[in-house]
Every structure is written in C-alpha cells, then in structure tokens.
Amino acid sequence: MQVLFNDVAAQWREIEQEALPEMLSLLREGPYILGRNVEHLERLFTVHTWTAHAIGVASGTDALRLAYQCLNPDTQMAIQANAHVSDALSALHVCVPYVFADCDEYYNIDPQDEMLCCQGSNGNHTILVVHMYGQAADILSIRQRYPEAMIIEDCSQAYGATINGKPVGGFGDIAVFSLYPTKNLGAIGDGGMIVTSIPEYADMLRQLREYGTKDKMEYNYLGWNSRLDELQALILRHKMDRVPIWIARKREIARLYNEQLAGVGDLVLPKKPPYADESTYHIYPVRTKNRKDFRDFLKRRYCIPTLIHYPMALNQIEMLSASRRKCPRAEEYAKKIVSLPIHPFMTPEQAKYICDAIKDYFSTGGRNDT
Amino acid sequence: MQVLFNDVAAQWREIEQEALPEMLSLLREGPYILGRNVEHLERLFTVHTWTAHAIGVASGTDALRLAYQCLNPDTQMAIQANAHVSDALSALHVCVPYVFADCDEYYNIDPQDEMLCCQGSNGNHTILVVHMYGQAADILSIRQRYPEAMIIEDCSQAYGATINGKPVGGFGDIAVFSLYPTKNLGAIGDGGMIVTSIPEYADMLRQLREYGTKDKMEYNYLGWNSRLDELQALILRHKMDRVPIWIARKREIARLYNEQLAGVGDLVLPKKPPYADESTYHIYPVRTKNRKDFRDFLKRRYCIPTLIHYPMALNQIEMLSASRRKCPRAEEYAKKIVSLPIHPFMTPEQAKYICDAIKDYFSTGGRNDT
C-alpha cells in the first residue's frame, strides 16, 4: 500500500474546477502584484482571526521578521526551544535579543518557564507563542500572567486551531502565518500573512513590505520587499473554504491513531491539553526511544515515510544560541520525536496499515532486522 | 487611443497554449517548492549568462541581500546613486558599508568616479554595477581599472542586454536578477535569480536560501528562507524563449521614439553608449525640465501614462545615506527623468500617437493649459 506523508497536490485537484477559470482570468489580465486577490484574502484573514488588519507577505519567515521589526528595540523576547529555526533566525536578523524557554508536554511553550519573565532594559517584554504541530498553545494563561508583555503569535503550524472556539491569530498583539504548501492552509509556493488589530502596527507593516515607504519619497522604516503573489492569494482564497473539512478529516485519522496506537511499545502519543480545543494535526507527533530503528523499519519494510520536526532544539544550534541555556523537555523531545503521515486525503485503511506496521515493529522487540 | 505603460499580461497570452498544460500538471502533481522547474530554469540561466551556477530565490531584493552576504565583512561597496532603493536597502540590512558614486550620461555607474576606489579596512573592495534601464554598463572598464575588486552585477533591469554580444550576468563575480513581472524576463509575481561561477559562493548561496543549512543539523550561515516558486520557474522557462523577440520589438519602438522625438523641445533622449550594445529598453527614459507639466499634459489630454524611475537619488534618501555625498548627475536626473510607455506589444501607431502628443506639448510652449 502506498502512503504519502502529505498530499498537497490533492488539495488543488479538489479546488481546480472552481479556481482554474479565475486563475486563467488573472493570468490573462493581471495585475500580478498586490491586487484584489491579496486584498480579498487579507479581509478573509481578518474575519477568520477576529482582527482588524491583515498584510500578505512573501513567506512565514518574512512575516516573522517584519513583525519583529514592530517591537521596541529594547525588548527581550522569550522563544520556545522546540520551535522552527525561522522563529529565532528572524530575530537574529533584526537584532531582537531573545532567550529560550522550554515547552510543555503538549509541545507548546510552558507558561511557567521563568524565562518568560525576562525583560529588556526599559522593562519591555515580548513573548513569542508558537502554536506547535497544529495545537493551540496556552496563550490565555500567558496573557493573564504577563498582561504587560507584547505577545507575538506564530500560527504557521496551526491555522484553524481554536481555544474555546476562537481561532488562533487573534490572541496576540501581532500574529503571523506561514502559507507554505504543507500547512493547514497552504499556497502553491511560499507565502505568508500577518494580522493585528493595532492600527499603528498595520500601517508600519504595510510600509515594511514595500521598501519602508508610502510614496517612494519618504522612507520611514528599514523596509523590505515582501509581498504575497496575487496568484497565490487567489488559490488560498479557494482553499480557505475547504480547510475546516480538511482539518476534520485529519482529526478522524488522528483519532484512529490514538485508538490503535495507545499502549503500543514505548510510543508517546499527542494528548489534548486542558487549555485549548483539539489539535488540527498539522503534524501527528509521537515519541519513541530508538527513533532511527523505528523510522528505518517503517521505511524499509512498509515504505512508510516519516519526518522529524525537528532534529535539534533551537538552544542546541550554535548559531542561534548565545546563552546555551538548558531546555530539558525540548532537548529530550528533539531526540525522540517522529512525525507520522497525516493529511486530509489519507484513508482509514492507510492509517490502519501504518498502525499495523508500527505494531509489527514493536512486536519484534523494536529491532530493525530488515 | 488607449496606451498602456506596460502590458505584462500579454506575455502570458502569448505563452498560454504551451505553458498551460505543463502548469496544470504541476498544480495537480507538485512538488511546489524547489523541484525540476527551478532546477531547469537555473540551468537555463547559467547557459544564458555563461556562468556555472544559478540559484533561484524569492525576489530581486532577496537576491541582492544574499549576494551581499557573500562579501567579506570588512569590505566597502560603491553603489551608484541613481539605482533602485533595494540596491542600498539590502546592504543596510546585512551591514555592508557603502558609498555612493555618480552615474554617467547613459545612466550607468561612472567608472571614473573616485568613490569606486573606496576600500574597507583590509583593502577589501566591492563595486555594485547596476545595468540601468535595460542598458549594459561599462563593467569592462571597471574590471580593468579595479582588477582586485569584487564586482556584483545587478542585472534586474537588463536581462538580455549585452556587451559585444555577451549577456550581462557573466561579467561580475556574482550577478543578481529581479524577475518582477515588468522586467525583460518577468514572473507572474515576485522572483529572483543569482548567478556566479565561483563554487564557494554558489554553495553558500544555496544554503543561505534555506535557513543557512545543508542538513538541518549544522547551521553554517545566517541564512534566510527565500526560494523561487516552481510555478514561477515554469512560467519563466516558457517566457525565456520569447525574450529576444520581445526585446527586438521594444527596440523598434525605441527607434521610432529616437527618430520622432529628436530635437523636440528640451527632451534629452537615451543614447547608445560606446561601451555596450544597444539597450534592451526595460525603460525608455527621457529628461525634461518641467516634468510635472509634461506628465500632466500627456495624462490629461491624451491619457498617456508615464512613470518616474526614480524620483529621488539614493544619496538624497536620509535613511540610506549617512554621508550625504553629492552626486550631481544622479540628483539632476532624479528631478527631470520621465519614463515613456514601452513594451513588446505596443504598436507603431501607439508610439506615433505618443510622439505626436509630446510634440503637441512642446508646440504649445510646454505649458499645461488643460
């Protein structure tokens, strides 16, 4: 049985009939840059996230960097150590000093980590909350604990995830989304979105994405050139309607995994945290001690692809980590974590095939004797 | 008569029949990021520019920044003051110190400007050569004068321009191209390309565009996330074949302008420099004293759109210019320059209509009495 880790092209096949005529009309008429499709998608994002402003940019990494440029230069930012490398890399690029905080057992930032208290010279204080693997983080506790902190939400992995029914993106002061193809809402290429309800930030971000100017005469900010393509915005508009259905399908696969894999070997399955609604399963992460054996066995005997998100904690990457503070959970997880295939077009049969393969692995004592 | 400043969508209409089936197949099958289309386009770029390596990135501005990251940190770079704002902005972002040089009467960097001698603390020395408005610059003189300098070519405005038949992009140590829709070779959205024949730079640039790592374990450079989309690469592949024809058509329009507008009013027309082949006319720039009147007259009485490339010299933009060195030519040109409509799909009748409108403007004494 053939199993794909993800199947993003199937998303296009589902929207082709309705999207293609519009796409041809855009290709034949233009404009290709910052036209009505980007504007429309921006409006849809404000509606979805319950925010006032949305700004389409070229990638999630660009979105992070531009958002960080809105921070007070004297701030200090806490970043969770198990996040994506771009979360810290973007801060390095715009010289925002940061410290690493550890994650909780749901892979999200631990609200109790003392590093979340760290403040800059003027008491300026920023916390980056990355909703990991599709699961909304405990941003409400963090907001309550640190009411004076600026909170940036990185929703790249969790478009559509909710807390008490309210989607991520509207909890922080600024929120960013990567629209990379494999995300819950993904483009046919790179793309990103920033949302905020604070008009000053929105105004600054709109200038930052086009060279830091409004009129090409006065340059107010150290801007960049970072725009979401019209073509991508058009496709994203059509996908957006389908995402709730796609998430529902992934949740069915996840439930099957949860049932079938409970108590199998040393596997640690993802759990629903008390602080948010069910994960959207951008990733289905499990942990096992002999990860390499586990992956090799699945790959070689059953042709089942797995991935690692991510092989190193950020505090272990020399270039990103001046302080080398220990983050025990993030470091342990980086050694043991494996992502199983999950996507909206996976059948229950495929999921069962994967579960059976995993049971086979553990029934042979977890050794890779292929 | 309706006249467009440019008509990029007409390019798509010309390639649709051959590009659309391939595009549908890419949309239906993927992959969307760094697949065979980008690889193929990169190979085509190396062939076109007579270089060994090409690296597709997200925009021309990103291409500049990544190229600048290859420079020795102790270098000093000369930038021509009439270039695009991104040429200097990118240097600011990666902390490459620069000085402004003036341009020659062909709008290209003046090889005799003394600022081209400026060196960094270790004698490291960089010159940015921007081929302006479609016209190849005097890069051969600069190479001869400063054989030890690192030369970065910005070919964004001059894809296809040549010196003794050899296309720009292969003269410098590294060359960058913006693939913005309006360029000689333009995508349906943002895109960029970097070429070089130096393997160390190519290796570094490939890592820089994907977070500065080869394997997600070792991070060697302060990288970024900047990739050309597969979809854009596919379209660019198809357009590339047509560009010589499109440039030839623009040259016909330019010849018509040159003939009809010679000696009209105070207009200064673009001239062919002795150091390079005929311009590819990304822009057809003219200069006139009362630019605002001129533009208003054409717009209001004849519905003819014009643009300004660019309204300020870089040394006049406070954010970009610490030294405030005077660049008399660039500053004068910034006040007087106007770009007339020019594109491959303009008819001789449209060009004549524009020439007649301009003659009408000057015959009434150049006053805007509409």
What pLDDT, in 10s, does the model give residues A268-278?
999 999 999 99
pLDDT for the residue B122 = 84
3-state class (DSSP) for residue A337: strand
Residue B228 and residue B168 in one domain: yes
3-state class (DSSP) for residue A140: helix
pLDDT for the residue B367 = 59
Interface probe, candidates B225, B292, B308, B345, chain A, greatest A C-beta count within 10 A = B225
Among candidates A22, A62, A28, A29, which has minimal Cα distance to A208?
A62
Per DSSP, what are the bridge partners of residue B54?
Answer: B195
Q: Do the domain assignments include residue B131?
A: yes
CA–CA dist B54, B159 (Å, integer): 14
- Does position A121 have pLDDT exceeding 90, yes or no? no
Query: What would the two tokens of residue A200 be?
Result: 């000053």
Question: ipTM greater than 0.90, yes or no?
Answer: yes
Query: What would the two tokens of residue A163 be?
Result: 């807390």
* Cis peptide bond upstream of B31, omega within 30: yes
**Mutual angle of helices A60-69 and A85-93, in 10-degree steps:** 40
CA-angle at B286, arms to B280 and B292, nearest 5°: 135
Residue B37 and residue B143 in one domain: yes
Q: Do the domain assignments include residue A128?
A: yes
A182-185: long-range pairs with CB below 8 Å, 24+: A182/A6, A182/A8, A182/A282, A183/A156, A183/A157, A183/A159, A183/A282, A184/A134, A184/A157, A184/A158, A184/A159, A184/A160, A184/A243, A184/A246, A184/A247, A184/A280, A184/A282, A185/A159, A185/A160, A185/A236, A185/A239, A185/A240, A185/A243
Residue A5 contacts B, CB cutoff 8 Å: no
pLDDT, tens only, B307-331: 999 999 999 999 998 777 899 999 9
B332: CATH:
3.90.1150.10
pLDDT for the residue A370 = 47
- Does position A169 have pLDDT exceeding 90, yes or no? yes
Residue B22 and residue B128 in one domain: yes
CA-angle at A34, arms to A30 and A40, nearest 5°: 95
Counting Cα atoms < 13 Å in the Cβ hemisphere of A257 gives: 27
Range B12-31 average pLDDT = 98
Residue with tokens 């963090």: A142
Residue with tokens 């977890």: A366
In the chain, the amino acid numbered B260 is Q
3-state class (DSSP) for residue B117: helix
Q: What is the distance in angstroms between the Cα of B33 and the nearest Cα belonging to chain A?
A: 6
Q: Do the domain assignments include residue A370?
A: no
Residue A294 and residue A272 in one domain: yes
Q: Do the domain assignments include residue B87?
A: yes
Q: Do the domain assignments include residue B110?
A: yes
Q: Lowest-confidence range among A68-72, B119-123, B160-164, B302-306?
A: B119-123
Residue B179 and residue B314 in one domain: no
A228: CATH:
3.40.640.10
Residue A148 contacts B, CB cutoff 8 Å: no
In the chain, the amino acid numbered B190 is D
Residue A43 and residue A126 in one domain: yes
Residue B56 and residue B150 in one domain: yes
Among candidates A344, A345, A311, which has minimal Cα distance to A85?
A311
How many Cβ atoms from other residues are within 10 Å of residue B297's Cβ? 23
Query: What would the two tokens of residue B320 be?
Result: 């970009």
Strand pairing category for B337-340 and B174-178: unpaired
Residue A34 and residue A110 in one domain: yes
Range 292-351 of A in CB contact (< 8 A) with B:
310-312, 317-320
pLDDT for the residue B323 = 72
DSSP state letter for B305: -
CA–CA dist A136, A115 (Å, integer): 20
3-state class (DSSP) for residue B338: strand
Decide which of A221, A237, A253 is a domain's last residue. Answer: A237
Q: Lowest-confidence range among A95-109, B1-15, B169-183, B207-221?
A: B207-221
Residue of A86, A190, A227 with shortest CB distance to B229: A190
Strand pairing category for B284-287 and A284-287: unpaired
Decide which of B237, B259, B278 is a domain's last residue. Answer: B237
Decide which of B237, B270, B289 is a domain's last residue. Answer: B237
Spatial CB neighbours of B53, under 8 Å, sequence gap ≥ 6: B42, B46, B195, B196, B197, B199, B201, B202, B205
DSSP per-residue string spanning B162-186? EETTEETTSSSSEEEEE--TTSSS-
CA–CA dist B16, B232 (Å, integer): 14
Contact residues on chain A for B319, CB-CB shorter than 8 A = 212, 219-220, 222
* Cis peptide bond upstream of A310, omega within 30: yes
Query: How far is residue A315 from each of residues A17, A142, A286, A308, B113, measured CA to CA in Å?
Result: 46, 21, 21, 17, 48
Among candidates A127, A199, A205, A140, which has minimal Cα distance to A168?
A140
Q: Do the domain assignments include residue B59?
A: yes
Which residue intervals of A135-228 are DSSP H helices?
139-145, 199-208
Which residue intervals of A262-346 are DSSP H helices?
291-302, 328-336
% of chain A exceeding 90 in pLDDT: 93
Residue A160 and residue A264 in one domain: no
pLDDT for the residue A322 = 75
Residue A9 contacts B, CB cutoff 8 Å: yes
CA–CA dist B256, B52 (Å, integer): 38
What is the side-by-side strand order in the sheet with B53-57? B53-57, B192-196, B174-178, B150-154, B125-130, B76-80, B98-101
Query: What would the two tokens of residue A47 be?
Result: 């509606």
Please indicate whether, in this complex, the C-beta atoms of A219 and B320 are within 8 angstroms of each other.
yes
- Does position B17 have pLDDT exceeding 90, yes or no? yes
pLDDT confidence tier of residue B216, bands split at 50, 70 and 90: confident
In this structure, the dihedral spanned by the alpha carbons of residues B233, B234, B235 and B239, taken in order and rounded to 10 degrees, is 90
pLDDT for the residue A10 = 98
Residue with tokens 């058509």: B249
Residue B152 and residue B262 in one domain: no
Contact B265, B289 (CB under 8 A): no
Q: What is the distance in angstroms between the Cα of B166 and the nearest Cα belonging to chain A?
A: 30
Interface probe, candidates A229, A312, A337, A345, chain B, greatest B C-beta count within 10 A = A229
Residue of B32, B60, B219 with shortest CB distance to A188: B32
pLDDT, tens only, B346-355: 999 999 999 9
How many domains does chain B divide into?
2
Range A35-50 average pLDDT = 98
Contact A42, A209 (CB under 8 A): no
Residue of B20, B217, B224 with shortest CB distance to A61: B224
Q: Do the domain assignments include residue B162?
A: yes
Residue with tokens 């990304």: B282
SS3 content of chain A, % helix, strand, coil (to 5): 40, 15, 45
Q: What is the distance in angstroms between the Cα of A236 and the nearest Cα belonging to chain B?
A: 13
CA–CA dist A208, A273 (Å, integer): 37
Range A142-165 average pLDDT = 97
Please indicate whether, in this complex, the C-beta atoms of B59 and A217 are within 8 angstroms of each other.
no
% of chain B exceeding 90 in pLDDT: 93
Arithmetic mean of pLDDT over chain A: 96
- Does position A346 have pLDDT exceeding 70, yes or no? yes
Among candidates A162, A181, A187, A174, which has minimal Cα distance to A277?
A162
Residue A47 and residue A160 in one domain: yes
Interface probe, candidates B4, B27, B38, chain A, greatest A C-beta count within 10 A = B27
Residue A97 contacts B, CB cutoff 8 Å: no
Range 165-224 of B in CB contact (< 8 A) with A:
180-181, 187-190, 211-213, 216-217, 219-220, 222-224
Residue A257 and residue A133 in one domain: no
Domain that holds residue B351: 243-363
Q: Do the domain assignments include residue B368?
A: no
